[in-house]
Amino acid sequence: MPSRLSRTLVLSLLALLPAAAQAGPPLICFPMSIGEARSLAWGSGSGWNTPRPDYDRARLAEDTLALLGPETPVLVRMETLRRAAIYASSDPAAGKRLFDALRGRVAPASGGKADPLAQFDLGYAVEAYRQTRPMRGSVLAADPSEDGYALVRQALAARGPDAEMQYAAALITCDRDRRSLSDKHLQAALTGTREGSLLSRTLAAHQPLWGDRIQGFRAAAAR
């Protein structure tokens, strides 16, 4: 029979499994599956951190905004902003221009309503940029002052049901302190996910992040 010490060690290791499943900051270390959709120039190596060394970061704001048109799917926006945050993390001037441009799109013209996609883009970029701080070579300026999650929630309220945006919110809140909140967004994303979609493929690729949570939610919904 196992000793009390060995049982205690096993229990301790099991308690650490959820944290071990998360290999790094979720908005940065877990790319989105976007198929052949256009995004920022990126290297061909494996892994999540393969920016092109020859990419001109002076063009980052211009290139990013050009890719964030009104018809661009939310999942593609998320991957584009993930790449933009990584590029900006090594060039504070490029980061400042990027955030100035994103903020400029949020301000409503002539007193009209803010564009929810612009709100989402700024919110997601803020949260992704903050998560690049632990990266090697990161030379970030001060963190943006905005509450990125609040901006994403405003975008969700304006757009209504949106599985990809719900998944973005689940990633943003994917930490120990907000697990119940993340679970609510993740369940909403799963409810709206079509089999074979890019979001479905992304969820499968992100299994190391979520562990058995996705399987558990799907099993509960099927009862």
CB 132 within 8 A of CB 86: yes
Task: State mean pLDDT over 125-139.
Answer: 81
In this prediction, residue 47 carries a pLDDT of 86
Helix-strand-coil split of the chain, %, nearest 5: 65, 0, 35
Token pair 């490029």: residue: 94
Nearest to 125 by CA among 172, 81, 188, 189: 81
- List pLDDT tens digits, range 164-205: 999 999 999 999 899 999 999 999 999 999 999 999 999 999
CB 27 within 8 A of CB 68: no
In this prediction, residue 42 carries a pLDDT of 96
Nearest to 61 by CA among 122, 120, 113, 149: 122
Q: What is the largest CA-CA distance in the chain?
A: 75
- List pLDDT tens digits, range 104-129: 999 776 667 889 999 999 999 999 99
Q: For all residues of the chain together, what is the average pLDDT?
A: 87
> Poorest-confidence range of 4-8, 47-51, 74-78?
4-8
- List pLDDT tens digits, range 52-64: 999 999 999 999 9
- List pLDDT tens digits, range 70-98: 999 999 999 999 999 999 999 999 999 99
In this prediction, residue 9 carries a pLDDT of 35
Q: What is the DSSP letter of 7?
A: H
In this prediction, residue 12 carries a pLDDT of 36
